[in-house]
Structure 1
Amino acid sequence: MEESERLVSADAEGAEEQVIEAALRPKKLDDFVGQERVREQLSLVLRGALRRGRTPDHVLLSGGPGLGKTTLAMIIAAELGQPLRISSGPAIERAGDLAAVLSTLAEGEVLFLDEIHRLARPAEEMLYMAMEDFRVDVVVGKGPGATAIPLDIAPFTLVGATTRAGMLPGPLRDRFGFVAHMDFYEPAELEVIVRRSARLLDVEITDDGAAEVAGRSRGTPRIANRLLRRVRDYAEVRADGVITRELAKAALRLYEVDERGLDRLDRAVLESLMRKFGGGPVGLSTLAVSVGEEPETVEVVAEPFLVRQGLLARTPRGRIATPAAWAHLGIAQPAASPMAGTLFEVDDGADRPE
């Protein structure tokens, strides 16, 4: 199963979903739900800069997909009353591409670089000077006759977003004046988001219906909004259009999203681990073959959420189902299970040979 095919994928699935997301995004910092510490700190950074009449420090936002990094970048530009220029690390393949973007920025403009950890090395080195001195060196010519021409650029604010902060080089990270990590959302926060999105979509939803959708959203607003739209479809076609708890349960049962947010792939991984391998330990490749998926799909798509939920553990000997996984799927845990009342050593994430 491809990540883009999963209803509970945290990645934006295409142009249509991006358009819908844009319509649901809050436009002001005060309207942004959740991430209270980040909001408070960012508010101080922006207001302080506005009072001084200076461009704010560069901002780095890290965290999983779907948590609101792009939304915050748009809010930063709106709060400053400045245009927002959007690009991404993979789109900037050469230093010249970055120079072309930077040289056209107006004073105070906000540049948003998504997936900044994937920036090409030559462009990354150019960005160091641009962030610090608001200057870039444009190389003209090739070989021994090449000449570097210094080019001043207007003061700007860079907002970088990354899902893998550990992959950012130290020199780049140090040039950001404000670094914020975005956490997964609490169900109560997601309920507020679901009710707000329902109003914008002109969908009638009860409080317990919103709670049901929020509880299955894996702590991610993007998933909450996607589930809301699918439940809306069910409510309009098979009911009177009002989303209640029972209707949300029936709709999400149809879409194979259970009460903890697990979908078909998540449950297949756990069931295979428990029924075929007695709860483990089992190597990643063997586990992937048993569910008919590529090892990378299991490791990148399914495992992070299962580990975060305490349903699966990665140990030096392989993957192991936790007692919570046996209880969640209602499967009796064998007495000989490796985690039946015993302690285990959690792996640091590195895979060992099977």
Structure 2
Amino acid sequence: MGEKSNDVERTEFALPDSLGPMSQNPDLRPSEIAGDHDVELSLRPKSLEDFIGQKKVRQQLDLVLGGARARKVAPDHVLLAGPPGLGKTTMAMIIAQELGSSLRMTSGPALERAGDLAAMLSNLMEGDVLFIDEIHRMARPAEEMLYMAMEDFRIDVIVGKGPGATSIPIEIAPFTLVGATTRAGMLTGPLRDRFGFTAQMEFYDTEDLTRVVTRAAGILGVSIDSQAASEIAGRSRGTPRIANRLLRRVRDFADVNADGHISVDVARAALLVFDVDEQGLDRLDRAVVDALVKGHGGGPVGVNTLALAVGEEPSTVEEVCEPYLVRAGMITRTPRGRVATVQAWRHCGLVPPDDAPGL
């Protein structure tokens, strides 16, 4: 797709006279739009049985929850670790659903003060599940208060300041903490050791992602071929969140250009429009690979130089692009910088040199 010039002829489209205000058009009623939003939310599975993938985690978690139900006690605290988009929040919702308990949700960055956490803990009912997303980003005072809450179901609230300060112990109801983190290494040792069960979420294979896409298409009422579902799954970076997002974009393309049915050709054409290639690389990923291969002869190149070449911040290249490019075998990290592999050279349509990694 080339760049549009300023003198491109503009075409005006007139609305048919039959289209009145939004309230008179049944296709544009807010109630219908809200209903579609509710369908999108229903993509999350509601039970361990419906959860696709993560077989080992599901088996282990089923034992933890089943044992707690048999003893009629709150299960041990659960830590869900893994890259974003693999279903950690969904798993927390399922834990509460399996236990028949209420779910209270917050995030690590939102707990800036110990008082924020104390207010939330004191309002918990017995058996409730407290979910803290990105738990490694909690403020230190709140984290230290959480230690006693997790072990003894008690918190100490400090009233006053200076020599006259008084510690008031407050008993809290037994609860289950579910923490989610994308960086397990950033958790402090005392916090990590207080979790009774740690689940490491893994990237999905194409087969499981195809099932995710097929299930989501059924919920959304989208007609899709099995080959098209596999095509979308293969470009989803092993991540269900990306697979569901690509499915919605392909659905948009199919509604406009293919009467709503998604065939493999429609899926490929749609993903081409949205800049997702056969390997799952998007525009920025390809720009990094091109800069490394064509601009710097395959490296080694520092991340700052790569970021400057593609017009992005170094943190964006390092945190957004590199994890998948390394996992896909496109680049390697060395003490001297980033180096393009054989796969990267071939992805750019070039013959790799003899010293390229991967030969």
CA contact (8 A) 2:303 2:338 kept: yes
Identity of paired residues, percent?
66
Q: Are 2:213 and 1:185 aligned?
A: no
Quick check: 1:106–1:156 contact (8 Å CA) kept in 2? yes
Cα distance change on mapping 1:274 and 1:30 into 2, 3 Å: same
1:20/1:118 CA distance change after superposition, 3 Å? farther
1: CA distance, partners of 2:252 / 2:244: 13
Structure 2 contact 127–175 (Cα < 8 Å) conserved? yes
The one-letter amino acid paired with 2:95 is: I
Q: Distance in 1 between matches of 2:176 and 2:357?
A: 50
1:236 counterpart letter in structure 2: D
8 Å Cα contact 2:342-2:356 kept in structure 1: no
Match of 1:9 in 2: none
Aligned to 2:84: 65
What residue in structure 2 maps to residue 111 of structure 1? 130
- Gap regions ≥5 residues in structure 1: 1-16, 342-354
Give 1:240's match in structure 2, choosing from 256, 259, 280.
Answer: 259
Q: Secondary structure at the match of 2:180?
A: strand
1:157 has 2:176 as partner: yes
- TM-score norm. by structure 1 comes to 0.90
Would you say the 8 A contact 1:89–1:118 is kept in 2? yes
Q: Supply the distance in 2 between the matched residues of 1:146 and 1:114 (Cα, whole angstroms).
A: 32
C-alpha displacement of 1:334:
3.9
- Contact persistence 1:273–1:321 (CA under 8 A): yes
Structure 1 residue 283, shift from structure 2 partner: 1.1
Q: Does 1:24 align with 2:43?
A: yes
Which of 215, 225, 230 is residue 249 of structure 2 equivalent to?
230
Residue of structure 2 equivalent to 1:137: 156
**What is the match of residue 11 of structure 2?**
none
1:129 and 1:144 mapped to 2: Cα distance? Answer: 23
Q: Note if contact 1:35-1:182 (Cα within 8 Å) is conserved in structure 2.
A: yes
Say how many residue pairs are matched.
326
Q: 2:285 matched to 1:266?
A: yes
Q: Is the 8 A contact 1:108 1:156 kept in 2?
A: yes
Alignment of 1:240-319 (within 5 A): 240-319=259-338
Distance 1:26 1:294 in 2: 36
Report deviation, 1:282. Answer: 1.0
What SS does the aligned partner of 1:320 have? strand
- On the 8 A contact 2:209/2:243 being kept in 1, the answer is yes
Separation in 2, partners of 1:117, 1:81? 27
1:167 aligns with 2:199: no
Q: Is the 8 A contact 2:345 2:351 kept in 1?
A: yes
Measured in 2, the distance between the counterparts of 1:254 and 1:37 equals 37
**Deviations 1:290-332 (Å, cap 9, x if unpaired)?**
1111111111111110001110011011111000111122122
CA drift of 1:22 comes to 2.9
Provide the rounded CA distance (Å) in 2 between the counterparts of 1:178 and 1:168.
Answer: 15
Q: Distance in 2 between matches of 1:20 and 1:320?
A: 44
Say if 2:239 is the partner of 1:220: yes
Give the corresponding residue for 1:100: 119
- Residues 1:93 and 1:20: Cα distance change in structure 2 (over 3 Å): farther
145 and 82 in structure 1: CA distance in 2 versus 1, 3 angstrom threshold? same
Question: What is the aligned partner in structure 1 of residue 143 from structure 2?
Answer: 124
In structure 2, the partner of 1:352 is: none
Task: Kindly state the Cα deviation for residue 161 of structure 1 after the two structures are TM-superposed.
Answer: 0.2
Tell me how far apart the structure 2 counterparts of residues 219 and 268 of structure 1 sit (CA, whole Å). 21
The normalised TM-score by structure 2 is 0.88
Deviations 1:159-203 (A, max 9, x none): 000000000001101100000000000000000010000011000
User: 2-side partners of 1:20 and 1:301: how far apart?
Assistant: 29
Q: Is the CA contact (8 Å cut-off) linking 1:281 and 1:338 kept in structure 2?
A: no
Q: Return the alpha-carbon distance in structure 2 between the equivalents of residues 260 and 123 of structure 1.
A: 42
Q: Is the 8 A contact 1:280 1:338 kept in 2?
A: no
